[in-house]
Chains A and B, each alone.
Chain A
Amino acid sequence: MHKEYFMLKLKLGLISMPEKDRNEILEEYDAHFEFGKQQGRTEEEIAKELGDPEELAVELMGEPDARPDNQQPNKQFPPFYGESDYSQSHAVPQMHNMPPYYPEQPRSGEASRRVFGIIGALFVSIMVIPLLISGWGVCIGLIGASLGFVLVPFVYVIKLSFGATFFGAELSMCLVAFGVGILLAQATVLLCRLYAKLNLAYLHWVANVGRERRM
């Protein structure tokens, strides 16, 4: 077997490997041929001593450590909580550092998991989306209530301007309502913000389940 033929067979066997790793390996075998030739051996002899390039390719494909492969599927699970999609976005650069040697294999294993994830998300959504919408109803109600309280003194002033009789008790009631309104408004703003975050987290989760299916 000539060197060119050996190298071609090896290259074909490593075709699914990232280019950088493949070139590194090919270079090493290429160098082996060159050193052998320096020692006065023929290409055929060297190729025979090296062994079957197809077998070598299988070994080279299988061996480079299973560790990055083990880590990756974990990172690719659909996140089940809003927060876990942060860890997923962190996983992306790591994937570039350590490209998988069997990109198809873990994916096919995950496909079913993903489909179940989407079905699960669908059913969860049927339950959760009405709840989320009703939650917004509560928020709107609270906003209305606090607005009403805050507006009480102004309304009272308007009432007085129409010539109503002034009662001290009424004025103090109005001021108390104004105070309660301000406190309520602050609490409502805080609540709405938290609630919006919760909603966003949920939407992120649903979007992630969908995105991974398309990948």
Chain B
Amino acid sequence: MKEIIQFKKGVLGLCVMVLINQRDRYGFELAQQISKHVEVAEGALYPVLRRMVADGHCTTYLQESTEGPPRKYYTLTPEGKAYMNELVSEWQSFVSGVTTLLEQSGSENDPAQDQSELSGD
């Protein structure tokens, strides 16, 4: 269980960066977008965002909205974009590597179990 939480957390930064790269987004919006596809504690998003700002990958600006509190929008810096590209290619080679590894030992594993863990809970 701990591994699942850990690797979801690890990929969170990548998901956030890709989403912000499409257009500037605010925290709640990011949480909704991500939880649409990946089941993850939404609160964990904010530490990731803070770290990205601290690392200079992101900057923020506030925008008043007609209803509710002002929205804190996140936008990628050029360094953030470069880092995102690096992460994406790293992720792809990582996934293909792990997939190959799983396929090679596929006969012993039950793929249905992995499926249920991704969608279930």
Q: Which residues of A contact B120 (CB under 8 A)?
A: none
Q: Give the shortest distance, in Å, between B11 (CB) and chain A (any CB).
A: 15
Q: How large is the interface on B (under 10, 10 to 19, 20 to 34, 35 or more residues)?
A: 20 to 34
On whether the beta carbons of A65 and B55 are closer than 8 Å, the reply is yes
> A57–B109 Cα gap in the complex (Å)?
37
Complex partner residue of A60 from B27, B47, B69, B71, CB under 8 angstroms: B47
Question: Which of B31, B46, B71 gathers most chain A CB within 10 Å?
Answer: B46
Please give the residue numbers on chain B whose beta carbons come within 8 Å of chain A beta carbons, in ascending order.
Answer: 27-28, 31, 35, 41-44, 46-47, 50-51, 54-55, 67-72
Count of chain A to chain B residue pairs whose CB atoms are closer than 8 Å in the complex: 65
> A67–B69 Cα gap in the complex (Å)?
32
On whether the beta carbons of A64 and B54 are closer than 8 Å, the reply is yes
At the interface, is chain B mostly helix, strand, loop or mixed? Answer: helix
Can you name the residue of chain B whose Cβ is closest to the Cβ of A53? B43
On whether the beta carbons of B68 and A32 are closer than 8 Å, the reply is no
On whether the beta carbons of A65 and B42 are closer than 8 Å, the reply is no
Q: Which residues of B contact A52 (CB under 8 A)?
A: 41, 43
Give residues of chain A (53-84) contacting chain B, Cβ–Cβ below 8 Å.
Answer: 53, 55-56, 59-60, 63-65, 67
Given contacts A30-B69, A31-B69, A50-B41, contact A60 B54 (CB under 8 A): no
On whether the beta carbons of A63 and B42 are closer than 8 Å, the reply is no
Q: Which residues of A contact B54 (CB under 8 A)?
A: 64-65, 67
